[in-house]
Copies of this chain bind each other. A is one copy, B any other.
Amino acid sequence: HSPTGHSRSPPSSSASGSTTSEPVRSRWSPKPEQILILESIFNSGMVNPPKEETVRIRKMLEKFGAVGDANVFYWFQNRRSRSRRRQRQLQAAAAAAAATTNTCDQTMMVSNSLPHHSGSDLGFGGCSTSSNYLFGGSSEVPSFFLSLSSSPPSCSSSSSTS
């Protein structure tokens, strides 16, 4: 629908890593600034920009290095795909864990005493703020993990006698 007159525009890749002096790059590698921009856009909710926007984004990115419309398109496509996959993986993990939690007898009775942990985890779900969430009070599934006392120096010794 809406034949926007977009023809088969194969990757008009005009990609180059470093504008300064790079030998030859067969594959576009976004520069930090470009990544930042793309991430910002993605995180702002625009996960699948229409062509018009894609062109605009490309123009914006071009200020920091050669890039083609196709690169931008690919980037968003991959971002969506991978984002979703991770989410699914996590969800599966949660479900599976919840379904099998009871199997773990007294393996770990957790003693939630973690005072705090300089938050700087990153990496996974993204939505996770702390360790206790997700299935905090789902059912009879007590968050049976969390807190394996961090053993900093010597051996395990709950010496956190505050």
Most buried by B among A52, A60, A92: A52
- Size of A's binding interface in residues, CB under 8 A: 97
**A4 close to B96 (CB less than 8 A):** no
Instruction: Judge whether A45 is part of the interface by a CB distance below 8 angstroms.
Output: yes
Identify which of B100, B138, B150 contacts A45 (C-beta below 8 A): B150
Which residues of A line the B interface, CB within 8 A? 2, 4, 6, 8-11, 31-33, 35-37, 39-54, 56-57, 59-60, 63-64, 69-70, 73, 79, 82-84, 86-87, 89-90, 92-97, 100, 103-104, 107-108, 110-114, 117, 120-151, 155-156
Most buried by B among A60, A114, A140: A60
* Residues in B neighbouring A125, C-beta threshold 8 A: 83, 86-87, 124-128
CA A64 – CA B96 in complex, angstroms? 10
* Residues in B neighbouring A69, C-beta threshold 8 A: 145-146
